[in-house]
Amino acid sequence: MDKEGLLQVYRMLYQHFGPRNWWPGETSFEVVVGAILTQSVAWRNVEKAIANLKGQGLLDPLALLAAPDEQIEEAVRPTRYYRMKTKKLKAFCRHLVEEYDGDLAKMFAKPWPKLREELLGVWGLGPETVDSILLYAGEKPTFVVDAYTKRIWARLGVHPEDIDYEELRAYFMDRLPEDVALYNEFHALIDGVGNRYCKAKNPKCGDCPLAAICCFPTGGEGEPGVEK
């Protein structure tokens, strides 16, 4: 699928969903926290956790670092793996405080490719989380891919579903214009169709806005073809 093919997919999804207004958050730090907490859980659970943190005055890197682990764990319990996510939040906050005096603006002033490499070295932060932080909190032109992206592009017949994260990310970035707003909206639209229609089991193929160009058998039986 070339640039025009990708943009066609974008237009089909945008026509179906309209603007998705991602990423919700009152501050850049709240967006960062959401990016860390949202892994492996529905966004509504993240909203509950953020509300808990906000209610306790913990949506601040210094406050999070100073708070007992048990307090944070209880606040983020709705997001599953709450002990591990507490450690990830503290690891990011420790890095932010030690390297940038707790100032996100100072951190995001660093050339983003170097910052991406740096953040990938912070304990617990994988590429999807780091790219979400850079794109949505820092407004940097890096494309976020996730399990939905892999599944949808496999079913469209473009890539195998087990494609490497960096390879799939490069596929999008090599073909799309470097545009933060486009990357933001495209990823949000992909997650919309993945969440509502292109499910791992019992996909709703008949209602999917990409049905006209998809090679996945209707009803979700069989294997999608992969373009060589």
Q: What is the pLDDT of residues 62-99, one digit of tens each?
A: 999 999 999 999 999 999 999 999 999 999 999 999 99
Measured CA to CA, the distance from residue 205 to residue 66 in angstroms comes to 49
Residue with tokens 């780091």: 130
Task: Indicate where the chain has its CATH 1.10.1670.10 domain(s).
Answer: 3-20+144-213
pTM: 0.93
| Residues found in the chain | 228
> Taking 80 as the threshold, does the pLDDT of residue 4 lie above it?
yes
23: cis peptide before it, omega within 30°? yes
pLDDT value of position 73: 98
CATH number of 28-137: 1.10.340.30
Burial, 8: exposed, middle or buried (Cβ in 10 Å; 0-12, 13-18, 19+)?
Answer: middle
Q: Which CATH architecture has domain 3-20+144-213?
A: Orthogonal Bundle (1.10)
pLDDT value of position 61: 97
DSSP letter (8 states) at residue 22: P
**What tens digit of pLDDT does each residue of 125-179 get?**
999 999 999 999 999 999 999 999 999 999 999 999 999 999 999 999 999 999 9
DSSP letter (8 states) at residue 137: I
What element of type H or E holds 225?
none
Measured CA to CA, the distance from residue 119 to residue 115 in angstroms comes to 6
DSSP string, 162-184: T--HHHHHHHHHHHS-S-HHHHH
When the pLDDT of each residue in the chain is averaged and rounded to a whole number, the result is: 94
**What are the start-end ranges of the H helices in the chain?**
3-17, 28-37, 43-55, 61-66, 69-75, 82-100, 104-108, 112-119, 127-132, 147-155, 165-175, 180-196
Question: Among residues of the chain, what percentage have pLDDT more than 70?
Answer: 95
Phi-psi map region of 40: left, alpha, beta (phi>0 left; psi -120 to 50 alpha): left
Average pLDDT over residues 187-211: 96
Task: Indicate where the chain has its CATH 1.10.340.30 domain(s).
Answer: 28-137
3-state secondary structure of 24: coil
pLDDT value of position 224: 39
DSSP letter (8 states) at residue 109: T
Residue 24 pLDDT grade (very low, low, confident, very high; cuts 50, 70, 90): confident
